[in-house]
Structure 1
Amino acid sequence: MLPPGSTIGILGGGQLGRMMAVPAAQLGYRCIGFAPEGDNVAGDLCADFITADWDDAAALAEFARRCDVITWEFENVPVAAVEQLPQAKVPCPPRALEIAQDRLLEKNFVEELGGRAAPFAAVDDAADLRAAAARIGTPGILKTRRDGYDGKGQWRIEAAADLDSLELPGDSLIYEGFVRFEAEFSVIVARAADGAVRFYDSTHNEHRGGILARSALPAPAIVGKQVEEARDLARKVADALGYVGVLTLEFFACADGPVFNEMAPRVHNSGHWTIEGAVTSQFANHIRAVAGLPLGETTPIAPRIAMDNIIGDAVENAADYLTEAGCHLHLYGKEDVRDGRKMGHVTRLFRNAEQA
């Protein structure tokens, strides 16, 4: 158990690290962030922040020396950087990052545990893509195996004829068959080092342009029918990885059961509602897990909850939310406003039918 006054290191400088630093401070911890130069908004709330490249061995060593335990706030932290750190200070194995950073490894890993993903195939050249499209069918989606998020690094292929005009954006790609679904949902699980787990209620996730726009509770009935099967897979993934902290798996709710989409070894956008909407937020439970503290209750505190992302220049009117009752505004302090960038979020708690 990490005593109060200890230091938690956070790899990454985004809003997730920023929101982790708040419950860490409430529990008596200091946070130090580490990330390359950029819009490192986590540094606003950390006690200190080291700005250096991921391959700067001296900076990583100094960061590790000053930390008692180390975690990360996004899944694209280079595995090589994490492996340079004293592993005794990193409660979650780097293998979780390694698998989540490669869509092909991720889907193979989940299927080996009994999960079901959309049909997929590795693509390294045009011949691979034609073979994949012929076997899996169209429509389908061509994706980069690494680094894509929020709809980036993805190309929809409606028909085989589209392949004639498509110029491959490099190699190390994956082709996935199109999934016909009734709803999208996520399973967020907090796992302690001793294997104890807590699940959050699964939200109905709505995407626009490949970016999560809204997460809401309660989710449609079909999600409720499939959530236990999805949770069972999430538990298997967490156990197989020896995971410590908050882990998220995203699913499609389909007529014949849940289909795995992707996983994120971190706190997740679809769990932002938990800050005001759950007894213990996902951020507090992540800090508890890596610090060796008991996990907190995850029960929602209102019958209906909705979280909306504030994206791009919508942030200019964000102050309007402050006039709404039961509305909680979070702005991330980002200076660079651009299309598709998450600038903040707003959570509404509906405690009765009239408010809803």
Structure 2
Amino acid sequence: MNVLGPASTIGIIGGGQSAFNLTQQALKMGFKVMILADHSALANHEDVQLLAGSLQNPADLQRLFSQSDLVVYDNEDIHLDELTQIAGSQKLVQGTEILDLVQDRYLEKSFLNDHNLNIVPFAAVVDNADLQQTVQEIGFPCILKPIQKDVGIIDGVIFQNQAEVDRYQVPQGSFILESLLDIKHEYVILVSKDWQQQIMTYPIIQLTSQDRWLHTALVADTSDSILQTEINEIAHTIAQSIEFQGLMAIKLCTTAADTLYVERIYCGTVFAASIYQALTPYSQEELFLRSVCNWPLPHLQPLSAGCNLVVTRDNLALVVAELQKHPQWQLNLIPERLEHDALNPYLGVVTILGSDYQKLQHYINATKIWKV
């Protein structure tokens, strides 16, 4: 085992907010960073070097690999089809199996199904005839999504009845039709795997979504040990079955009948797990870097219960008013450069700490902005 120590250079494939967060953590741990992207907000830092280039250009990738001691990605939308042409590609200890898996909805569902994990019924769709047939098999309500997660319909098309199906024209491409669940609660669990393929799971995060943007991410002891055990077992099963080193996340949900389903897999960090930074001594970015740099992985125990509440342009004024009543609440906004993205109303989070789930629930629901 070669431990990657401070002053080593970590190469990051791709920019964006996750690369920004990962870079900040790498600098705190004493690493130098090289980023392959078209731009980076940290490019002027003395220990950060920007390689302006294309992620699909083998020559640009080769420059990154040649000048880095370790290479990572934290973005499931990138494609690394040219990696076999790169000298030193073993520096990408994460591998690409998990990346290929999370980019393809059909492949992901098939993988989960092959490992006897509970998922919603699904089928591939390429034209209207397929849609008509699979709707009869799956039933209503159902949702149609592009197989590739980074293209096509953003939120999917929901069908509640046959008349809606009859009026719809399937676009060109490949899609997946799946049952639409009546979700009671959603959960995210982070899993890391080290160089010895030893698996570590971290505190389960409960999600509550009000719409596409407005949601909460909460870590608290809800005393459901059976559910926690089942989620941890699922996380181990998935992590054991994928060849990777680093960090991944798994999203699950329960229905009104308390049936647990696996929804999807993520590679690297996820927005929901940013709550770790407030509740534990470790951020998810540090857990990521420790796992790929062969540092020992900690057992994570929350120091208190806590929740992150999403702040958007629409609720910012209400949030500021609410902060006047709660001096212990913390407002954390994202860098100003992202505030001008008209397609993304997300501005940051309010972090609330509490002694238990019931108190957090009371604080949050009383605002009438968010709910848990």
Q: TM-score, normalization: structure 1?
A: 0.89
CA distances 1:31-89 after superposition (whole Å, capped 9, x unpaired) = 22222x36x44657771222322222221111111111111111111031444443310
Structure 1 runs not aligned, ≥5 long: none
Q: Which stretch of structure 1 is more off in the superposition, 288-297 or 252-261? A: 252-261
Equivalence for 2:330: 327
How far is 1:301 from its partner?
1.4
Within 5 Å, give how 1:164-179 maps onto structure 2: 164-179=166-181
How far is 1:313 from its partner?
5.7
Report the 3-state secondary structure (helix = DSSP H, G, I; strand = E; otherwise coil) of the residue aligned with 1:263. strand
Q: Tell whether the 8 Å contact from 2:55 to 2:80 is kept in structure 1 after alignment.
A: no
Q: Tell whether the 8 Å contact from 1:18 to 1:44 is kept in structure 2 after alignment.
A: no
Separation in 2, partners of 1:49, 1:313: 34
Equivalence for 1:140: 142
Q: Tell whether the 8 Å contact from 1:337 to 1:343 is kept in structure 2 after alignment.
A: no
Structure 1 pair 209–137 and aligned structure 2 pair: CA distance change class (3 A):
same
Equivalence for 2:286: 284
Equivalence for 2:183: 181
How far is 1:200 from its partner?
2.0
Higher radius of gyration, 1 or 2: 2
Equivalence for 1:58: 59
**Letter of the structure 1 residue corresponding to residue 68 of structure 2:** C
Equivalence for 2:79: 78
1:263 aligns with 2:245: no
Equivalent position to 1:347, from 339, 351, 358: 351
Q: Tell whether the 8 Å contact from 1:14 to 1:42 is kept in structure 2 after alignment.
A: no
Structure 1 pair 180–268 and aligned structure 2 pair: CA distance change class (3 A):
same
Separation in 2, partners of 1:48, 1:197: 32
Q: Tell whether the 8 Å contact from 1:52 to 1:59 is kept in structure 2 after alignment.
A: yes
Equivalence for 1:309: 310
Report the 3-state secondary structure (helix = DSSP H, G, I; strand = E; otherwise coil) of the residue aligned with 1:176. strand
Structure 2 runs not aligned, ≥5 long: 364-372
Q: Which stretch of structure 1 is more off in the superposition, 136-145 or 173-182? A: 173-182
Equivalence for 1:337: 341
Separation in 1, partners of 2:150, 2:222: 28
Report the 3-state secondary structure (helix = DSSP H, G, I; strand = E; otherwise coil) of the residue aligned with 1:241. coil
Equivalence for 2:208: 206
CA distances 1:76-116 after superposition (whole Å, capped 9, x unpaired) = 11031444443310111101110100000001111112211
Within 5 Å, give how 1:29-48 maps onto structure 2: 29-35=31-37, 37=38, 40-41=40-41, 43=43, 47-48=48-49
How far is 1:271 from its partner?
0.3
Separation in 2, partners of 1:61, 1:212: 40
Separation in 2, partners of 1:313, 1:53: 35
**Letter of the structure 1 residue corresponding to residue 352 of structure 2:** R
Separation in 1, partners of 2:359, 2:110: 47
Q: CA RMSD in A?
A: 2.7
Report the 3-state secondary structure (helix = DSSP H, G, I; strand = E; otherwise coil) of the residue aligned with 1:143. strand
Separation in 2, partners of 1:244, 1:51: 27
Structure 1 pair 318–137 and aligned structure 2 pair: CA distance change class (3 A):
same
CA distances 1:198-226 after superposition (whole Å, capped 9, x unpaired) = 2222122122333462111226566x532
How many residues matched? 351
Report the 3-state secondary structure (helix = DSSP H, G, I; strand = E; otherwise coil) of the residue aligned with 2:183. coil
Within 5 Å, give how 1:221-240 maps onto structure 2: 224-240=225-241
How far is 1:183 from its partner?
0.6
Equivalent position to 1:107, from 75, 84, 109: 109
Q: Which stretch of structure 1 is more off in the superposition, 194-203 or 326-335? A: 326-335
CA distances 1:268-312 after superposition (whole Å, capped 9, x unpaired) = 11101011212322110101011111112321111x211122334
Equivalent position to 2:295, from 293, 296, 313: 293
